[in-house]
Amino acid sequence: MSLLPILKWPDPRLAEVCAPVERITPEIEQLAADMLETMYAAPGRGLAGPQVGVMQRLFVMDVGWKEGRSDPLVCINPMLQEVSETRATATEGCLSIPGVTAEVSRPARVQMVWTGLNGARFVQSLEGFGAVCVQHELDHLDGVVTFDHLDAETRAALIAEYEAA
């Protein structure tokens, strides 16, 4: 395994929509292992393909590892099947926008379907931080970053803070 460089905003690849993963190959398996290693070293709780320059619909996450409840997921071609009408606001950070956090409002509960490395399809309902993380990583696969969720004034202030750092 090896650590991968994490792209930083405003790299234009972070604004691109990713292509589906066509087949699970040994290269995809190695990429997933490298992405998990990179995520843990960063240290983050999620990392999407475009954040490491791979423009494919793949992300890894482990929302509980920092609290000693490690449960890594590799999500290939993930999509949301259901989203709640109820919304929740949470503070989000991003490995591609280091040092910046923002309050983002998202559906409070989601149901995601994805393919695992073994080729099986999985369905899971998530709420709380799990729902936030899944939606954040799915955004990356669609070329959306945290700044894109903010009103113009908040966005401008956070971009100025980020660029000054």
**pLDDT value at 114 more than 80:** yes
Contact, 14 vs 59, CB < 8 A?
Answer: no
pLDDT in tens, 7-21: 999 999 999 999 999
Q: Of all residues in the chain, what percent carry a pLDDT higher than 70? A: 100
Across-strand partners of 101?
A: 93
pLDDT in tens, 28-83: 999 999 999 999 999 999 999 999 999 999 999 999 999 999 999 999 999 999 99
Mean of the per-residue pLDDT values of the chain:
97
pLDDT at 155: 96
pLDDT at 50: 98
- From CA 79, how far away is CA 68, in angstroms rounded? 27
**pLDDT value at 136 more than 80:** yes
pLDDT at 74: 98
**pLDDT value at 1 more than 80:** no
Give the containing element (helix H, strand E) for 123: strand 121-127
pLDDT at 165: 85
Mean pLDDT to the nearest integer, 119-129: 97
Kindly name the residue from 22, 137, 161, 163 that is annotated as catalytic.
Answer: 137
Phi and psi at 112, nearest 5°, equal -115, 145
Q: What is the number of other CB atoms lying within 10 angstroms of the CB of residue 50? A: 26
pLDDT at 102: 97
Q: Of all residues in the chain, what percent carry a pLDDT higher than 90? A: 98
**Catalytic residue flag (residue 163):** no
